């Protein structure tokens, strides 16, 4: 009798996700907390904006479609987002992201200001350069009678 293939953490199926939806436990509760919170907040904001747009586009006289449906979708979406950041595969990814972010050497404030100034000055220079090309081409086209 052949042994059943083992399912790796990276290859978890939809059955595992559905089982995870109906649990309230936290996976590796104290690890990757910041990245999980930020990820949940981003998903929650996207859900909130989508439900708000649905609320605005619904018929004003139909209370169920105007308030009930967006409210139900928001509740379900927030629960799914909460469970998603606690899904083992996704949570492990977020934990490793936070670990890598803590290893990065971030620039000091003066380095950040200097680098930003270089970028801004370069962008302004290029914008002026393109504006001059635009003026030259406008004069050429006006001289040739292409533009009135």
The structural domains of the chain, with segments of one domain joined by +, span 15-104, 106-148
- The per-residue pLDDT for range 20-54, each reduced to its tens digit, is 777 777 788 888 889 999 999 999 999 999 999 99
Q: Answer yes or no: pTM beyond 0.75.
A: no
Task: Answer yes or no: are the C-beta atoms of 82 and 44 closer than 8 Å.
Answer: no
Q: Which token pair is 23?
A: 């649990």
More confident position, 78 or 22: 78
Q: CA dist 1 to 4, 5, 6, 7, 8, Å?
A: 9, 12, 15, 18, 21
Rounded CA separation 117/21 (Å): 47
Measured from the Cβ of residue 48, the count of other Cβ atoms closer than 10 Å reads 14
């Amino acid at each position: 009798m052949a042994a059943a293939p083992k399912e790796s953490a990276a290859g978890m199926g939809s059955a595992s996700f559905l089982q995870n939806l109906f649990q309230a436990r936290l996976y590796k509760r104290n690890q990757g907390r910041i990245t999980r919170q930020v990820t949940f907040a981003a998903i929650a904001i996207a859900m909130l904006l989508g439900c708000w747009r649905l609320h605005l586009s619904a018929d004003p006289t139909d209370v169920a479609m105007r308030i009930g449906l967006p409210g139900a979708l928001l509740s379900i979406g927030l629960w799914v987002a909460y469970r998603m950041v606690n899904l083992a595969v996704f949570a492990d990814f977020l934990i490793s992201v936070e670990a890598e972010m803590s290893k990065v050497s971030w620039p000091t404030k003066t380095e950040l200001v200097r680098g930003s100034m270089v970028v801004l000055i370069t962008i302004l220079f290029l914008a002026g350069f393109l504006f001059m090309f635009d003026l030259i081409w406008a004069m050429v086209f006006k001289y040739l009678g292409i533009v009135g």
